[in-house]
Chain A
Amino acid sequence: AQKVTQAQTEISVVEKEDVTLDCVYETRDTTYYLFWYKQPPSGELVFLIRRNSFDEQNEISGRYSWNFQKSTSSFNFTITASQVVDSAVYFCALKEVSRGSTLGRLYFGRGTQLTVWP
Chain B
Amino acid sequence: EAQVTQNPRYLITVTGKKLTVTCSQNMNHEYMSWYRQDPGLGLRQIYYSMNVEVTDKGDVPEGYKVSRKEKRNFPLILESPSPNQTSLYFCASSLISRGDNQPQHFGDGTRLSIL
Contacts and interface: CB of A to CB of B under 8 A. Distances in A.
Nearest to A99: B98
Interface of B: 30-31, 33, 35, 40-45, 48, 50, 88, 90, 92, 94-104, 106, 108-109, 111
16 contacts: A35-B103, A43-B109, A43-B111, A44-B106, A44-B108, A50-B103, A97-B97, A97-B99, A103-B96, A103-B98, A104-B31, A105-B48, A106-B94, A108-B35, A108-B44, A111-B42
Given A50-B101, A104-B95, A45 B90 contact: yes
Contacts of B45: 105
A81 to B, nearest CB: 26
Interface in A81-111: 91, 95, 97-98, 102-106, 108-111
A109 B97 CA distance: 23
A52 B98 CA distance: 12
A97 B98 contact: yes
A97 B110 CA distance: 29
Do most interface residues of chain A lie in helix, strand or loop, or is the interface mixed?
loop
A9 interface: yes
Contact of B50 (A31, A45, A47, A104): A104
Interface in A8-50: 9, 31, 33, 35, 37, 43-45, 47, 50
Interface residues of A, number: 25
Which 4 pairs of residues, A with B, have the shortest CB-CB distance? A104-B31, A110-B42, A108-B43, A45-B106
Contacts of A47: 103
Contact of B43 (A31, A91, A102, A103): A91
Contacts of A108: 35, 42-44
A111 B35 CA distance: 14
A103 B50 contact: yes
Contacts of A104: 30-31, 33, 48, 50, 94-96, 100, 104
